[in-house]
Structure 1
Amino acid sequence: MENLKARARELLRGFKGDGYAFGLGVLDRVGEFASGFGNSALVVANRGDWFRHVVDAVVESLSKRGVRLAGDRIVPDAAPNAPREDVYRITTYVLQFRPDCLIAVGGGSTIDAVKAANVLASLGEYEPEIDPYFGTGQVSAVLAKSGKKLLPMVAVQSAASSGAHLTKYSNVTDPVAGQKKLIVDEAIVPSRAVFDYAVTKSMPKGMTLDGAFDAIAHCLEVFFGIGPQKYDLAREIAEVGIELAVANMERVIEDPKSDEVREALGLATDLGGYAIMVGGTNGAHLTSFSLVDIASHGRACAVMNPYYTVFFAPAVERQLRVVGDIYKRYGYITADLDRLSGRELGVATAEGMVNLSVRVGFPTTLSEIPGFTDEHIERAMTAAKDPQLDMKLKNMPVPLSASLVEEYMRPILLAAKTGDFSLIKNMK
């Protein structure tokens, strides 16, 4: 395990250099980073008692470096999945208090909301609504046209989950429509990031497992869809990240306060963040955006990825041998993978993923998720045809166009509803 962790650290240092402080006991670096941007910082964080020790440590670190709280307050963070109302609310604070930098302290939803609020506060003269920024490269286009800049941002991650503190993505949800959409832009990558893995010991079991499955999803989906030029890097990230997650999910249930296990899962989710800067996620992530009203992101991806794995199998046999070997070494696959190929190899690997979910008490079909109805399938089908989400179709190892969604994606969703892999059609 220590060798795996060493490989993970080397990958992350190569990825982020000195702009990222990660490990155990690094929370005090926040003030150092923020002081490089000015004398005031707007801090957005959860204000609950359970999180107070983290926020207090951040504020103390700022004070030591002579950085004051803009507005003399902590701004309330975002609800799960970064509802657009929270994005607009945080934007108002930025405009009112005019800080030198932004500091998001929390999980992926809080960091995503602050990324999006930064865009609106900085570029609102050009377009004050969030919708035109969804898609790929829209923020950079406006920055180039307007000559404006975003505020510097320090992302202080508190949850081993999405890797939002390292990435170019901001997920924003319309709660009324029950649909999540995505800003994808290099311009919104946080200027600096801090992740003290010890903070995650306060994460509840469900949230911890959600994050670990999200790490697997990021590494897996990117590895499946990567082109030949970046294959070796994506393979290294996936090998290390997926194994760190798979090896430690049952362990964290047994010993949730273990520094060793929390560090391993933190490194895994960080590698998931690195993965989605190397390539893009695809099928399971796309479907998860239509399940926001009934399932956390990691849980939705955990349910969907086995079914997309079967669909992709003939096109990703090389990747499946790497991934399947990890699940087999940790006892989740009993089949002799060397004797399998194509779809059969995909089914065996998918069964290993399902077995891990069963062992940690996660659902393995859509029907097991409370609140699921066939309307969620229709919502997912509609979303798959949305031009603002078409990057997910293009990122698939078996790319789909909107015209092929009905023929091939609906059977995947029906299989995920019932658990019947035989319903999935492979493209010829």
Structure 2
Amino acid sequence: MNDFTQAQELLRQFKGDAYAFGDGALAHTGALTAPLGKRAGLIRPSHPGSDVIVDAVVASLEGSGVAIVGVLRGVRPNAPREDLFRLSGELQALDLDVIVAIGGGSTIDAAKAAEVLRTLGGTIDDCFGTGEVTAALAATGKTLTPLVAVQTAASSGAHLTKYSNITDLTTGQKKLIVDDAIVPAAAVFQYDVTYTMPASLTADGALDGHSHALEVLYGAVGKPGYARIKTVATEAIRLIVQNLETAIREPTNARARTALGLATDLGGYAIMLGGTNGGHLTSFSLVDVLTHGRACAILNPYYTVFFAPAVEDPLRTVGEIYKKAGLTDANLDRLAGRDLGLAVAEAMLNLSRRVGVPTTLSEVEGFTDAHITRALAAAKNPQLKMKLENMPVPLTADMVDESMGAVLQAAKTGDLSLVKSVH
């Protein structure tokens, strides 16, 4: 058995024949798309090297009898509202019956939301939250056009999930659509297309996948389905911790790139089994100064100490992964509760240091206390309530300032002692 057998089998169980991943996957795009529609609106990236990917997808589509009725430009990082509205209008002008979106998480998220607006009309604010799109489709009798998502970055897992993150650049706040109706009908990810990802994006993407797995794992303790989530999440974390440094050091290392692709896909699987919580919730208020994965990576060690007494089982499992990678020499068997959380948090911070990611908010250019104020206010917004409810010890809006406030002050300064662990 190689290191990837379990990850590959988990993904097959998750997506079956609707997902082509790994070597040669781009050539399967047409076969996956043709049963869904014959007139495709193609959304594509424009970064250097993207023409090779787009050409392979177009050749596969045309070879399967799918016509390209329009080629549209993707979106900027974090899927700004303005780009979403532009994309929705451009899709509206096309005579299409299927959408093929090529890109990273931002473009795929925007494609999901753009099709929602194209079909349902109204405002994007009506869609934020959980299940709003499904409710609107039921009320109107409408259906969404199928989306085929062709992923180009090992990161968010957007090609596999029910999430769409959209950013308001005027307020610096990200909000979320959570709805089974927007899961892509088919997906493709050929992991070797990530060879050209720069080191910073490689780290950001992998740490986003790590955060998906970690936060879902923490939030699942004591709930039905924990065993399955533990299997999926710990495999994702293992592959990232063991391979991230190599992928950064050797960008064309096939083994490391495959590991990160599989791991971030498993992160996508994890967030379909459970929900993210603290790190992701706060990251939504830092979009003007931090990339998403980097924000989550900074925050999660501090949330780990906060949650520690409630998440001992996953902490022991995750801690052993970090110990085998040489990121901690703590005797984890002798630690419990907050002390165990502190040891695992330090190991996570060590990984961030090794891959060039800041470990405190104060290191981030442009960060101010206004970001903490914004994050605490956003945590009380009913449209983000699911993040509070997903925490290992669910918080209510009136608990945010004291509990989360201490976590964010710790993340600002790097002083883990400021965190008040849950009891």
Normalised by the size of structure 2, how large is the TM-score?
Answer: 0.98
Q: Are 2:410 and 2:419, in contact at CA under 8 Å, matched by a contact in 1? A: yes
SS at match of 2:69: strand
Q: Are 1:25 and 1:198, in contact at CA under 8 Å, matched by a contact in 2? A: no
Query: Aligned-pair distance for 1:26?
Result: 1.0
Query: What residue number does 2:270 align with?
Result: 275
Deviations 1:260-306 (A, max 9, x none): 11100000000000000000000000000000001110000000000
- Is 1:4 equivalent to 2:3 in the alignment? yes
Query: What residue number does 1:191 align with?
Result: 185
SS at match of 2:144: coil
Q: How does 1:107-186 map to 2 (within 5 A)?
A: 107-124=104-121, 128-186=122-180
Q: Are 1:81 and 1:173, in contact at CA under 8 Å, matched by a contact in 2? A: yes
Q: How does 1:1-400 map to 2 (within 5 A)?
A: 3-71=2-70, 74-124=71-121, 128-226=122-220, 227-400=222-395
Query: Aligned-pair distance for 1:361?
Result: 1.0
Distance in 2, matches of 1:119 and 1:253, equals 37
Q: Are 1:393 and 1:399, in contact at CA under 8 Å, matched by a contact in 2? A: yes
Deviations 1:293-346 (A, max 9, x none): 011100000000000000000000011000101001100011100110000000
Aligned length in residues: 422
Query: Aligned-pair distance for 1:349?
Result: 0.2
Query: Aligned-pair distance for 1:370?
Result: 1.1
Query: What residue number does 2:400 align with?
Result: 405
Name stretches of at least 5 consecutive residues in structure 1 with no aligned partner: none
Distance in 2, matches of 1:268 and 1:231, equals 18
Name stretches of at least 5 consecutive residues in structure 2 with no aligned partner: none
Aligned residues: CA RMSD: 0.9
SS at match of 1:79: coil
Distance in 2, matches of 1:93 and 1:32, equals 25
Q: Which amino acid aligns with 1:248?
A: N
Q: Are 1:137 and 1:184, in contact at CA under 8 Å, matched by a contact in 2? A: yes
Distance in 2, matches of 1:33 and 1:99, equals 16
Q: Are 1:39 and 1:68, in contact at CA under 8 Å, matched by a contact in 2? A: yes
Query: Aligned-pair distance for 1:47?
Result: 2.6
User: Structure 1 residues 48 and 235 mapped into 2: Cα distance closer, same or farther (>3 Å)?
Assistant: closer
Query: Aligned-pair distance for 1:48?
Result: 3.8
Q: Are 1:162 and 1:214, in contact at CA under 8 Å, matched by a contact in 2? A: yes
Distance in 1, matches of 2:421 and 2:359, equals 21
Deviations 1:32-59 (A, max 9, x none): 1121122210011113442111111111
Q: Are 1:40 and 1:67, in contact at CA under 8 Å, matched by a contact in 2? A: yes
Distance in 2, matches of 1:258 and 1:401, equals 45
Query: Aligned-pair distance for 1:258?
Result: 1.2
Q: Which amino acid aligns with 2:400?
A: V
Q: Are 2:42 and 2:68, in contact at CA under 8 Å, matched by a contact in 1? A: yes
Distance in 2, matches of 1:50 and 1:18, equals 28
Query: Aligned-pair distance for 1:69?
Result: 1.2
Deviations 1:170-226 (A, max 9, x none): 000000000000000000000000000010111111111111101110010000001
Q: Are 1:290 and 1:383, in contact at CA under 8 Å, matched by a contact in 2? A: yes
Q: Are 2:280 and 2:296, in contact at CA under 8 Å, matched by a contact in 1? A: yes
Deviations 1:343-396 (A, max 9, x none): 000000000000000111110000111111111101101100000001000000
SS at match of 1:364: coil
Deviations 1:225-266 (A, max 9, x none): 014311111110122100000000111122110111110000
Q: Which amino acid aligns with 1:268?
A: A
Q: Which amino acid aligns with 1:22?
A: F
Distance in 2, matches of 1:180 and 1:53, equals 32
SS at match of 2:263: helix
Query: Aligned-pair distance for 1:142?
Result: 0.6
Distance in 2, matches of 1:35 and 1:250, equals 39
Q: Are 2:278 and 2:303, in contact at CA under 8 Å, matched by a contact in 1? A: yes
Distance in 2, matches of 1:378 and 1:3, equals 47
Q: Which amino acid aligns with 1:192?
A: A
Q: Are 2:308 and 2:422, in contact at CA under 8 Å, matched by a contact in 1? A: no
- Structure 1 stretches of 4+ with a deviation exceeding 6 A read none
Identity %: 58
Q: Which amino acid aligns with 2:143?
A: K
Distance in 1, matches of 2:276 and 2:65, equals 40
